[in-house]
Amino acid sequence: MIGIFDSGVGGISVWKELHGLMPNQDFVYVADSAYCPYGRKSADEIIERAKKISEFLIKKNADIIVVACNTATAAAIKYLRLHFPVPFVGMEPAIKPAAIESKSGIVGVLATAGTFKGSLYLNTLTKFASNIKVIEQTGDGLVELVESGKICEHEVELLLKKYINPIIDAGADKLVLGCTHYPFLVEAIKKVANNALTIINPAPAVALQTQKIINDNNIMSTKNSGTNIFISTGNIETLKMLVNKINHSVNEHNFAVQNI
């Protein structure tokens, strides 16, 4: 079984890629919506949540856990790898492909404050961004909008304009989505950016990396069709709405609210 978790519903954008690549695998997804957002929480608070959710997923027989949250990866992945016996896959800020593909040599990154503070992000910058200019923008408020199911409202566009216009004005031609909630805003981002930016979502690369680890560790399911379970620690309505948008065949019974 592949365990996945995020501070909320955002990691569903990663589940979409994982499930698309490995439809026969079993997945258990935990949205920590009761504790969302993680973006401005301390690293210790995030580690505490990541620890509890990982324990829960391992009790449910997870063979591997995907931390489908950039902020939780930044704060907790080292701890998780050290304290639990299963492999963990985290979200990598996609600076490398953006740097390679950028023609203007200027790249925008939209992420949470927690992600920008993490050593993972700083290491990625040192490794891949020495020849480009990176414009960092925190997306305050966007996670909350996605959590409440607002993905294309006027409110979303207004906030996106505030964040994206300065990136465009600075001459960027690529926008790295450094938070797993943001792929749900792609249509609104495209509308605001009006072709000025190519959007880079790291989720497909993370799904490929997960598949590689699964193959290397021989934990590929041999069943014909996998089961997908979705658990929320808080409000489950947006989780249902986003999953159903991606896959209509998920049964109502596969959703549950649980205290973790």
Catalytic residues: 69, 179
Cβ within 8 Å of residue 1, ≥6 positions away: 25, 26, 27, 28, 60, 61, 62, 63
The tokens describing 106, both together, are 């200027």
Rg (CA), the chain: 18
Q: Which of 145, 181, 188, 236 binds ligand DGL (CB under 6 A)?
A: 181
- 233 binding ligand DGL? (CB under 6 A): no
Stretch that binds ligand DGL, among 36-44, 95-103, 124-132, 238-246 (CB under 6 A): 36-44
Nearer to ligand DGL, 53 or 143 (CB): 143
Near ligand DGL by CB under 6 A: residue from 47, 179, 231, 243 = 179
Q: What pairs with residue 228 in β-bridges?
A: 27
Q: How far apart are CA 22 and CA 171, in angstroms?
A: 38
Which residue from 2, 7, 19, 118 is in contact with ligand DGL, where contact means CB under 6 A? 7
Cβ-based nearer residue to ligand DGL, 67 or 214: 67
Q: 227: burial class by Cβ within 10 Å (0-12, 13-18, 19+)?
A: middle
| Inter-residue contact 65 to 89 (CB < 8 Å) | yes
Alpha helices in the chain (DSSP H): 12-21, 43-59, 70-83, 95-101, 113-117, 119-128, 142-147, 154-169, 186-193, 203-216, 237-246
Footprint on residues 66-125 left by ligand DGL (CB under 6 A) = 69-71, 112, 115
Q: How far is the CB of 147 from ligand DGL (least distance, A)?
A: 8
Among 54, 124, 138, 180, binds ligand DGL (CB under 6 A): 180
Q: Give the binding range for ligand DGL (CB under 6 A) out of 32-40, 128-136, 153-161, 207-215.
A: 32-40
- Given the complex with ligand DGL, which of 5 and 56 has the nearer CB atom? 5
Q: What is the DSSP letter of 239?
A: H
Using the rule CB under 6 A, give the single segment among 92-100, 157-165, 179-187, 199-207 that binds ligand DGL. Answer: 179-187
Choose among 90, 70, 234, 65: nearest CA to 149. Answer: 234
Q: In this chain, which residue has its C-beta nearest to ligand DGL? A: 39
Closer to ligand DGL at the Cβ: 1 or 203?
A: 203
Two tokens, residue 12: 């569903």
Which residues form the interface with ligand DGL (CB under 6 A)? 6-8, 10, 36-39, 69-71, 112, 115, 143, 179-181
